[in-house]
Amino acid sequence: MLQPSTLSFIKDIKKNNNRDWFEKNKPRYENAKTDFESFVAGILNQFVKINPKLKGLEARKCTFRIYRDVRFSKNKDPYKTNMGASINEGGKKMEMAGVYVHIEPGGNSFIAGGRYMPMPPELKAIRQEIQYNTKAFKKIISEKNFKKYFGGLEEIKLKTNPKGFDKDFADIELLKYTSYIATRKLDDKTIASKNFVKELTASYKAMMPLIKFLNEAVR
């Protein structure tokens, strides 16, 4: 489980997002960073039982830096107010379907899975796979545990029919998505619980058929 001191640090940096405070509290950050990486390592130990392709993946290749790139942003706060990890077969730098774990006390934590904003060639391949295997895809997103934890796909869609696809296709709505992702919100009680890894593992297991479908579509 995550240490209370880690969650406390994330809360405090949200209130004190400046370099002076950060430098004075650098030891707290280092402890929180180490704890979060250890937490992600624990997640990986469970996830690999569901997806053996994660074997050998290191926690440090999944976790994100706390430092923000403010060069092209109107928000000049130097630090993120969360800790996050992208878990897929290649780590955070690999453009593949997987899950993202976001820890931000205050009711803003979540686990999301799938493929976010794939490039046009990959998006086209995913849509084609859904068109060819519509029944299998619909079964994945209507599966009991998927709906229990995630509800359904997020409505990130085109308003019009995607180019290159038959507008008379019976399930054209499934091809309008520009991202194929689903999100489960996590309350503060859950992220502080000793059963948190168990909850994330159950979510990952429910998400795995979608991840597999999306990755196989672009291979």
* Element containing residue 171 per DSSP (H, E): none
Please, what is the Cα angle at 78 between 82 and 17, to 5 degrees? 65
Looking at residue 2, its amino acid is L
Q: Is the dihedral angle over the CA atoms 111, 113, 115, 117 positive or is it negative? A: negative
Q: Write down the pTM of the prediction.
A: 0.94
In tens, the pLDDT along 139-173 reads 999 999 999 999 999 999 999 999 999 989 999 99
Inter-residue long-range contacts of 45-52, CB under 8 Å, 24+ positions, other chains counted: 46/197, 46/198, 46/200, 46/201, 46/204, 47/87, 47/201, 47/204, 50/201, 50/204, 50/205, 50/208, 51/89, 51/204, 51/208, 51/211
Regions of the chain with pLDDT less than 50: none
Residues 25/12, Cβ–Cβ less than 8 Å? yes
Q: Max CA-CA distance within the chain? A: 62
Cα gap 124→41, rounded to integer Å = 34
Domain count, the chain: 1
Domain CATH number, residue 121: 3.30.930
Take residue 27 and report the two structure tokens written for it.
């030891």
Cα gap 78→58, rounded to integer Å = 26
Query: pLDDT at position 219, please?
Result: 84
Cα gap 191→195, rounded to integer Å = 9
Residue from 160, 163, 192 nearest 173 by CA: 160
Task: Say which residues have a Cβ less than 8 Å from residue 103's Cβ, sequence separation at least 6.
Answer: 2, 7, 10, 36, 82, 83, 84, 109, 191
In tens, the pLDDT along 68-89 reads 987 888 888 999 999 999 999 9
Domain of residue 167, residue span: 4-217
Per this entry, what is the length of the chain?
219
Task: Say which residues have a Cβ less than 8 Å from residue 3's Cβ, sequence separation at least 6.
Answer: 31, 32, 35
